[in-house]
Chain A
Amino acid sequence: QKEVEQDPGPLSVPEGAIVSLNCTYSNSAFQYFMWYRQYSRKGPELLMYTYSSGNKEDGRFTAQVDKSSKYISLFIRDSQPSDSATYLCAMSAYNYGQNFVFGPGTRLSVLP
Chain B
Amino acid sequence: DVKVTQSSRYLVKRTGEKVFLECVQDMDHENMFWYRQDPGLGLRLIYFSYDVKMKEKGDIPEGYSVSREKKERFSLILESASTNQTSMYLCASKTGGGYTFGSGTRLTVV
Q: Which residues on A are within 8 Å of B, measured CB to CB?
A: 4, 6, 8, 34, 36, 41-46, 49, 88, 90, 95, 97-98, 100, 102-105
Contacts and interface: CB of A to CB of B under 8 A. Distances in A.
Nearest to A98: B48
B90 A88 contact: no
Interface string B25-51: 000000101010001111111001000
A58 to B, nearest CB: 13
17 contacts: A34-B99, A36-B98, A36-B101, A41-B9, A41-B103, A43-B92, A43-B101, A43-B102, A46-B98, A46-B100, A88-B42, A90-B43, A95-B96, A97-B94, A98-B33, A100-B99, A104-B40
Contacts of A102: 35, 42-44
Contact of A44 (B40, B56, B90): B90
Nearest to A46: B98
Contacts of B33: 97-98
Given A97-B48, A98-B56, A34 B43 contact: no
B101 to A, nearest CB: 4
Given A43-B90, A97-B48, A98-B56, A104 B98 contact: no
